[in-house]
Structure 1
Amino acid sequence: MPKIRSFSAPWLQEPNPGHKLFEQAEETNRLPASIASSRNASQGPNRTIAHRGNEVFVARGREIRWGDLADLKDAWEAQQSRTGSASHLNGDGSDSSFEVYDEETSRLPQGPGYRVIKTPVASEIRQLVISPNKDQLAVLTSHTVHVCMLPDTSHLTSGETAPFKPKFWTVGPTTHVTSKSAVVSALWHPLGVNGSCLVTVTEDAVVREWELSTIDRWSFDTPTLEVDLKKLADGTSLDQDFGASTSTNKAFSPDDFDMKVASACFASRNSNGWAPMTLWVAMAEGDVYALCPLLPRRWSPPPTLIPSLSVSVAQKIETLETDPEATREEKLLAKQQLEWMADLDNQEPKLLDGPYGEVTEVYSRPSRPGSIPRLQGPFELAVAPQDEQDDEVELKDIFVIGAKRNTADLMMGEDFELYADDDDKDSLSVSVICLLSTSGQVKVCLDIDGVEAQWLPPRNASTRAFPDQAIPSLLVFHTFDTLKPAEMTPDSWPVFSEDVTTRYAFYVTHAAGITYVSLAPWVSLLESELQSDSEAGADFRFDLMVKGQRAEVDRIYTPQHAQNVLAAATAFKSSDLGHFVLSATHNDPVIMFFDTPESELMSDRQETPMSTEHGETPEPLTVWEPRPLFHPSEVLSRPSTLPPWVDALRTSRKRPLMQQEVRLSVATLEIFTEGHRLVSSEVFELNNAVAELFRKCEALTYELKEQITKVYEVNQRIETISGEGESRSTKEQNISEEMLVRNRIDVMKVRQENLARRVENLRKRLGQVSTRELSDKEKAWAEEVRNLAGSILGDEEEEEDTTSASISTAGKSLKRFEEVQSLRDALFEQAQQLQSTDSVDGTASPMPVMKIPSEIRKQKVAQVMSLLDRETALVEAVKSRLEKLSIE
């Protein structure tokens, strides 16, 4: 998992303006924290944070607060830089670039980097879901859905201080109302045209598709597709009506309990096959259903989706034609898929301009065999007995990771290959479905069989009497808990959140904290097992892998107040801010910064000079560990309710009692009883807040002592490395810190002078070097030297080509060297013999004695000596070259 670097962002902490983004709304300021948090927990998932790049949208009450985190950070850094300069500060030391928070009106100040967005909602906002193109924002309350047309960033940073009022549209003004079922999920369809298709799922298991268009108001009033899953589960043919019932009087049905929707989810757009058009629905009772293919009336597939579906359907039909055991239902399903693909192939796609200058191909939803698919499920979960949950535990959220794209089958027989994304390299060829319950238990399931498109049979006698279809199943690969038994609450609503670094990592947010989960440890190993052709020992290998490989599960944040309800964690990764996760309590932000690969590389580079003698880099000693910020309880800053109560008494019918002496009466007893209730509740909360603050201060002293101890250890290591520790250990040398610093400075000064002197000498020598061209005699001499070297050492170019050529040249040079030595020895022996015969006989030689002048003799001797010196130099050169060749 990524290492947490920090738990704080100063530009988002109080009293900076960025903290105002996360403060309570006006209508909840006067509510106790326990009441507000319990009310938030009972109304559904809390997804109140959405982002667009560095921009963040935070829902507080009935308003949305927009902020640019990069601008807030830059403004805070600029303010800190101006704080050190008195010329940029006011007389009281405050910065005038930010407005002061107005305590009387409790209004969020406007300024650079943040702004208030007014909404037409009538109740508290529960979810914010941003569209794939980042131009629309779905705003959900418990029963209503609104869509905000997000303006460009330049409009929000234009310098205006008034609250911004963008265009809002109400989705289903007569459908999603408080008198009908609650909305549990609103999803932007991954295959919608320019991300404009919204899918809403209500608690009563009704799925609606809204293909939104700003130029067509009717698209917000009526859905293009409406499916009642309870009717579809009992359907028998395509011709039935599966729309939601419009009558308000409903009879009792067991499906109202078994098919109470908790959450729904799509796979990502770049998933393989049928996954992007499959809607997974999790019921509160524990059942899981799939609806495939669920498409809008006009949809835009990725470039490889339709070819991959054509290949899979063709392979399936070819397999069924050669399989004698194929059932009639399987053949009918293959025929329906072929009709669906034929209708799709006969279309001519329309080309539309995308948001970033891209051209988008738009197809119409095939009309054959039908627009409403068959409901697949409930899926049977292969759960071990020890992993089965209690009957009272309910599912709360579902998260689907689609299978990777199979480009190998798609490009079979082609001369080139499709480009594979980095996410597809270490991905699974099966879909992963994660289920989350109220107890914090996460089940990681694998769709081994693969969900494919299915429709109900047509309405005729020959195909209606099929036997019951086999129950689909999901393989429960891994089960783990994210909550302790003491942290479980029946009214909690934990949720999943995606990670931005890898598709196989996510966050689980619940009232007890935020948990990071990574499935990467077993994904690559499982994919290699699935792709292997060997079936020998497959059961043993899978069993060993299931028992050995586990997901990385780590609690990265635990709130200090147990009653706080955390917003769903939102992951960010940008070059300006880094990699971090943002959440929020009812009044404060929660942020965790992670180490990015760039920072890890920089730290490695900084630690390289500290390598040891063996070439190993020692790990740096951690002086302090990051820990969450401590926020004192808001009870300490909350105004007392006693003065307003006293003012209310002075204007009530008990006003005469406030102006006279205390007398024993029923009215006086009522006043004292009510006053005691108010004072006792406030005193109790204040005592708890002060006790918590005292415990934190007491723990802070121990943490400070621990940090001082670690700093002392680092100091000892530095002194040991620099050699100053031994000198201090001796009592004979009692040198102060100042003397040590001065001595070190003197040594460095002397070293600097020596380096400057050496540089000056080198500069003078380089200045004396002539850069003129060689003369003709020098060129002739160099050519003669090259010829002589070639005649003695052979051709150097051939020598550098291969090792065999080098060995042959070395042999020639050695042979020639030996011949020269033998000739020299023979000449020396002859000269010695002549000298010995002349000295012994003392007689004149039979040869005529020639008188050679002394000048000529001296010249000849000088020539011989020069030749000998030259020959000696050549011999030494040959010897050194032979030594180099032998070394190589």
Structure 2
Amino acid sequence: MPKIISYTPAWLSKPNPGHEIFVPSSLSADHPSLSGGVGRKGTGKPGPRRTIAQRGTEVFIAVGREIRWADLVYLKEAWEDKQKSSGKGRKRDSQYQDDHAQGYRTIKTPVAGEIRQLVISPNSNYLAILTSHTVHIAVLPESSHLTAPDTGPMKLKTYTLGPTTHVTSQSGVASALWHPLGVNGSCLVTVTEDAVVRVWELSTGDRWSFDRPTLAIDLKKLADGTSVDQDFGASGSGANKGFSPDSFEMEVASACFSSRGSGGWYPMTLWIAMREGDVYALCPLLPEKWSPPPTLVPSLSVSIVAKVAGMEDDPEIPANSKLLAQQQLAWMSDIDIQEPVHIDAALGEPAAEVYTRPSKPGRIPKLQGPFDFDLAPEESEDELDGLLSDIYVIGARIDGEELMFGEEDELEIEDGDSSAGLSVGVVCLLSSSGRLSICLDLDGIEAQWLPKLKSKVSRFIEETDAPSLLTFQVLDTLRNAEVGNNNWPTFSHDCNSRYSFFITDISCVTYISLTPWVFRLENELNESTAGTDFRVDLLAKGQNTTRERIYTQRPDEQLAPLAASSVIQDPDLGYLLLTASLRGPVSITFESPDFEYAILPRQSESPTYELESEKPLILCEPRPVYQPAPSFEETSALPLLLEKLRHSKYKRLLKEEVRLSPATLTIMTDVHKVLSEETHRIGTAAAELFRRCERLQIELKSQIQKTNDVAHRVDAISGKDNGDELVLPCNEALEQRIEAVKRNQEELTRRIENLKKRQTKGTNRELSDRERAWMEEVAVVERKIIPSAQTGDSKSEATEPWKRFEQVVELKEKLLRDVQELAEEAEQAPLPSPSVKVPSEIRKAKMAQVMHLLDRETALVEGAKSRLERLSLG
């Protein structure tokens, strides 16, 4: 877990502008967000609160129907400049003064209800604004508009997405996702609660692209589909909306894509989590025009071709698998014959290649699911444990070595972290009770389509088993007392690692990291050595996943739920997590993994800027800054009650003396309800303030004690202590301490050696069975290699290796003598007649064969001798 350095800084606290941009201008007790989206009448329903969107150091915060736009670095520097000017006691002209731009603006939106989600596009040029039922797309301006002279509210160019589709009379919007393979990040996928997926390819030059989707799929129809030729489009506004089991079991809770840099089919797979606990996948889901990363098409082409080649002549493979492979081959063949169009990408990125969605075997894929959960825990008695709220998918890594095997040119991998990690996908599910289920997609998601209606092969296809996910670990992030019906936990991506994320509940933030076991599991899956099953079982049963709660709201603040966290990594801000409620922002600063940021000078300061002194040593754990309870600032409801009584039938009693009567009792009862509730809130807040004051005194004493201990240690090291002994110079004192440590180390080493010798002498235990077997094996090898002094049976000795070696040596010497004699006779004798002449090639071949046999026997004997020597030494 990253180390926490500090919590909400001063420039994000009251009464600075950094705090005010997160809170509404007027907050009343009946605000619809104070109870998780439930209004006065209680007709609202809980849902995700993703009200913070990020673009670099800029943040967009949804507050009611407004959007606040701010640059956090600008706000921080403005606060620092204000502190410097107030400390010097004189005013100086600065860009951060009140008559200049303040680095934040208010954006007016045309929405009719409270904004629940803000989703920014990959290229940061569009912002999707979601209410419970409507979707608006805003075109974002440049950052320079934040520092423009005009600081008043601004109105952006906004388009209504689906004016007749996403309306209040239709089903609510569960998720809006920017497709990772959209052209320049302009493709939006909306998923409604009634399980309808729509793909929108947006273009500001074509207003019709905001009116109708290019692809609409009703998942309830697709789940029962049998042929790709059927109509799976969404029903019109006049369709029957009566109750059906599908409408209850297929109520969408959330949907997600994996990252663009994932391997395999993951970038084009839409994962849908149903509220009742089912999980579905839609692969491949592509817009009409799509832009893949450089490694996607080659990796898919290699895997599909290898798969088809392996299945072609294997009779044991079922017909449905062969049909699926042929469908994938037809889909890839349609891509291979295309000539991609090269268009300009975002600034600083290479030109993008744009492909057209293949028409074969069909533009609508098969709905895969519901997935079976292997090794799933037993069903809980708590109903909220089975109600899913969010889904988060980490795609498989890209195998760059396998992809580039035999290739001369290397492809650039966009995501630097995508080449490391698991070769299988990870699917994380989150329930309303805060239960996190970590599942592995061992089978691997693949593209699937329904067969054609007139296809002959489809008649003989057997029913396939339902896809499955392996439940690896199950964790709880909430206590029993913190679970509520309005809770809707959400995932937030961590910018430093693809295997870590944050979970934001209604009242707390939890850090989760899968890094401790991901790389170990990948090694076990790749090596597959002896004991792999045992080690994998230890990984699954052990609590290897890092789970740490980093923030918890006070009990009196839980009526204002936290928004989904946003993580920022910037040299000026550091490694920052930002969340907010209607009470104000909450930020947590972690120790940045990139330590280069800490030593770089700030570029925004003038050349005469003097570097600040080193930060003091942190002697205590950081904690959230105390914020006064809202009860101290809320206005009393008693004046409003008195005003109502003056216009009611009891107005006469307010001017008369108090008399015992039913009317007086009614008035006193109403007043007591108001006063008792207000005094209870104020008393609770005052008690919390008192406890904080006592805790502050205790912490102050602890810090003083720790500082005193550190000071004594420094004085002892430097030799400046004021004891009775003579004060030595710093260098001499350090040298004496080093010499004392060396002497102590030598003494410990000597004692350890003595203990080892005593232990060796005192050990007199019997040999184990394995040691006896090893000694017997050494003796057998010795008898086979070295001749023993005892004479044995001549027949048995003839088969021993040492006897064979002696025979080979004798044979070698004899052959050498014979060859030498024949050579001498050949030199002295006259030339033989042509009838008895032996060709030189045959003589050379025979000699080479003999020498090869001799060398082989010699190597065998030498290897046996060396092995015996090693065994003897061991």
Counterpart pick for 2:54 among 31, 51, 55: 51
Q: Give, in angstroms, the shift of residue 330 of structure 1.
A: 1.2
Provide the C-alpha distance between the structure 2 equivalents of 1:542 and 1:388, rounded to a whole number of angstroms.
26
Q: Deviations over 1:128-162 (max 9, x none)?
A: 11000001111111111111111011123212121
Q: For the aligned residues, what is the CA RMSD?
A: 2.6
1:202 aligns with 2:192: yes
Provide the C-alpha distance between the structure 1 equivalents of 2:657 and 2:543, rounded to a whole number of angstroms.
78
Provide the C-alpha distance between the structure 1 equivalents of 2:313 and 2:380, rounded to a whole number of angstroms.
41
Change in CA separation of 1:489 and 1:600 when aligned onto 2, cut-off 3 Å: farther
Provide the C-alpha distance between the structure 1 equivalents of 2:343 and 2:663, rounded to a whole number of angstroms.
76
1:586 aligns with 2:556: no
The amino acid across from 1:545 in the alignment is L
Provide the C-alpha distance between the structure 1 equivalents of 2:408 and 2:542, rounded to a whole number of angstroms.
41
The amino acid across from 1:187 in the alignment is L
Q: Give, in angstroms, the shift of residue 536 of structure 1.
A: 3.9
| TM-score using structure 2 length | 0.76
1:432 aligns with 2:426: yes
Note if contact 2:295-2:412 (Cα within 8 Å) is conserved in structure 1.
Answer: no
Q: How does 1:18-97 map to 2 (within 5 A)?
A: 18-26=18-26, 28-31=27-30, 35-37=34-36, 39=38, 42-88=45-91, 97=97
Counterpart pick for 1:168 among 149, 154, 158: 158
The amino acid across from 1:377 in the alignment is G
Q: Deviations over 1:373-418 (max 9, x none)?
A: 0000111111254686855521111001111112223222123444
Aligned to 1:221: 211
Aligned to 2:405: 412
Note if contact 2:46-2:486 (Cα within 8 Å) is conserved in structure 1.
Answer: no
Note if contact 2:397-2:420 (Cα within 8 Å) is conserved in structure 1.
Answer: no
Counterpart pick for 2:501 among 491, 503, 506: 506
Change in CA separation of 1:38 and 1:169 when aligned onto 2, cut-off 3 Å: closer
Aligned to 2:271: 280
Provide the C-alpha distance between the structure 2 equivalents of 1:722 and 1:212, rounded to a whole number of angstroms.
69
Note if contact 1:271-1:404 (Cα within 8 Å) is conserved in structure 2.
Answer: yes
**Structure (1 or 2) with the greater helix fraction:** 1
1:676 aligns with 2:672: yes
Aligned to 1:364: 356
Aligned to 2:463: 468
Q: Give, in angstroms, the shift of residue 278 of structure 1.
A: 0.2
Q: Give, in angstroms, the shift of residue 32 of structure 1.
A: 7.3
Q: Give, in angstroms, the shift of residue 491 of structure 1.
A: 2.7
Note if contact 1:38-1:563 (Cα within 8 Å) is conserved in structure 2.
Answer: no
Aligned to 1:441: 435
Change in CA separation of 1:666 and 1:389 when aligned onto 2, cut-off 3 Å: closer
SS at match of 2:443: coil
Q: Give, in angstroms, the shift of residue 685 of structure 1.
A: 1.4
- The alignment covers a number of residue pairs equal to 702
1:555 aligns with 2:549: yes
Note if contact 1:316-1:334 (Cα within 8 Å) is conserved in structure 2.
Answer: yes
Q: Give, in angstroms, the shift of residue 64 of structure 1.
A: 0.6
SS at match of 2:281: strand
Provide the C-alpha distance between the structure 2 equivalents of 1:602 and 1:117, rounded to a whole number of angstroms.
35
Aligned to 2:305: 314
Provide the C-alpha distance between the structure 2 equivalents of 1:714 and 1:536, rounded to a whole number of angstroms.
51
Note if contact 2:81-2:96 (Cα within 8 Å) is conserved in structure 1.
Answer: no
Provide the C-alpha distance between the structure 2 equivalents of 1:25 and 1:256, rounded to a whole number of angstroms.
40
Change in CA separation of 1:174 and 1:690 when aligned onto 2, cut-off 3 Å: same
Aligned to 2:252: 261
Q: Give, in angstroms, the shift of residue 559 of structure 1.
A: 1.2
Note if contact 2:473-2:541 (Cα within 8 Å) is conserved in structure 1.
Answer: no
| TM-score using structure 1 length | 0.75
The amino acid across from 1:502 in the alignment is S
Q: Give, in angstroms, the shift of residue 438 of structure 1.
A: 1.4
Which moves more between the two structures, 625-634 or 37-46? Answer: 37-46
Q: Give, in angstroms, the shift of residue 471 of structure 1.
A: 1.1
Which moves more between the two structures, 514-523 or 409-418? Answer: 409-418
Provide the C-alpha distance between the structure 2 equivalents of 1:113 and 1:327, rounded to a whole number of angstroms.
64
The amino acid across from 2:68 in the alignment is R
Change in CA separation of 1:453 and 1:167 when aligned onto 2, cut-off 3 Å: same
Q: Give, in angstroms, the shift of residue 548 of structure 1.
A: 4.3
Change in CA separation of 1:548 and 1:261 when aligned onto 2, cut-off 3 Å: same
Aligned to 1:298: 289
Aligned to 1:861: none
Aligned to 1:520: 515
Aligned to 1:192: 182
The amino acid across from 2:261 in the alignment is N
Change in CA separation of 1:417 and 1:32 when aligned onto 2, cut-off 3 Å: closer
Note if contact 2:399-2:419 (Cα within 8 Å) is conserved in structure 1.
Answer: no
Q: Deviations over 1:341-386 (max 9, x none)?
A: 1111222222222221642211111111111000001111112546
Change in CA separation of 1:327 and 1:278 when aligned onto 2, cut-off 3 Å: same
Provide the C-alpha distance between the structure 2 equivalents of 1:633 and 1:224, rounded to a whole number of angstroms.
50
Aligned to 1:136: 126
Aligned to 2:480: 485
SS at match of 1:87: coil
SS at match of 2:21: helix
Q: Which runs of 5+ in 1 are unaligned?
A: 100-109, 604-619, 734-739, 745-888
Aligned to 2:602: none
Q: Deviations over 1:710-757 (max 9, x none)?
A: 1111121122123232x3457x99xxxxxx9xx99xxxxxxxxxxxxx
Counterpart pick for 1:377 among 354, 366, 369: 369
Q: How does 1:750-789 map to 2 (within 5 A)?
A: none
Q: Give, in angstroms, the shift of residue 424 of structure 1.
A: 3.2
Q: Give, in angstroms, the shift of residue 196 of structure 1.
A: 0.7
Change in CA separation of 1:38 and 1:629 when aligned onto 2, cut-off 3 Å: farther
Q: Deviations over 1:425-477 (max 9, x none)?
A: 43211111111111211111111111111000100262343321111111112
Aligned to 1:154: 144
Aligned to 2:322: 331
The amino acid across from 1:565 in the alignment is P
Provide the C-alpha distance between the structure 2 equivalents of 1:280 and 1:61, rounded to a whole number of angstroms.
30
Change in CA separation of 1:98 and 1:635 when aligned onto 2, cut-off 3 Å: farther
SS at match of 1:597: coil
Change in CA separation of 1:252 and 1:463 when aligned onto 2, cut-off 3 Å: farther
Q: How does 1:394-413 map to 2 (within 5 A)?
A: 394-413=387-406
Provide the C-alpha distance between the structure 2 equivalents of 1:659 and 1:96, rounded to a whole number of angstroms.
56
Note if contact 1:118-1:163 (Cα within 8 Å) is conserved in structure 2.
Answer: yes
SS at match of 1:705: helix
Q: Give, in angstroms, the shift of residue 78 of structure 1.
A: 0.5
SS at match of 1:241: coil
The amino acid across from 2:358 in the alignment is P
1:249 aligns with 2:244: no
Q: Which runs of 5+ in 2 are unaligned?
A: 600-615, 731-874
Change in CA separation of 1:259 and 1:146 when aligned onto 2, cut-off 3 Å: same
The amino acid across from 1:154 in the alignment is S
Q: Give, in angstroms, the shift of residue 70 of structure 1.
A: 0.4
Note if contact 1:522-1:549 (Cα within 8 Å) is conserved in structure 2.
Answer: no
1:625 aligns with 2:615: no
Note if contact 2:391-2:430 (Cα within 8 Å) is conserved in structure 1.
Answer: yes
Provide the C-alpha distance between the structure 2 equivalents of 1:722 and 1:386, rounded to a whole number of angstroms.
62
Provide the C-alpha distance between the structure 2 equivalents of 1:622 and 1:517, rounded to a whole number of angstroms.
25
Provide the C-alpha distance between the structure 1 equivalents of 2:108 and 2:116, rounded to a whole number of angstroms.
15
Between structure 1 and structure 2, the one with the greater Rg is 1
Q: Deviations over 1:266-308 (max 9, x none)?
A: 0111111211100001111111110000001111111111111
Q: Deviations over 1:240-274 (max 9, x none)?
A: 11112223432331112211111100011111121
Note if contact 1:443-1:480 (Cα within 8 Å) is conserved in structure 2.
Answer: yes
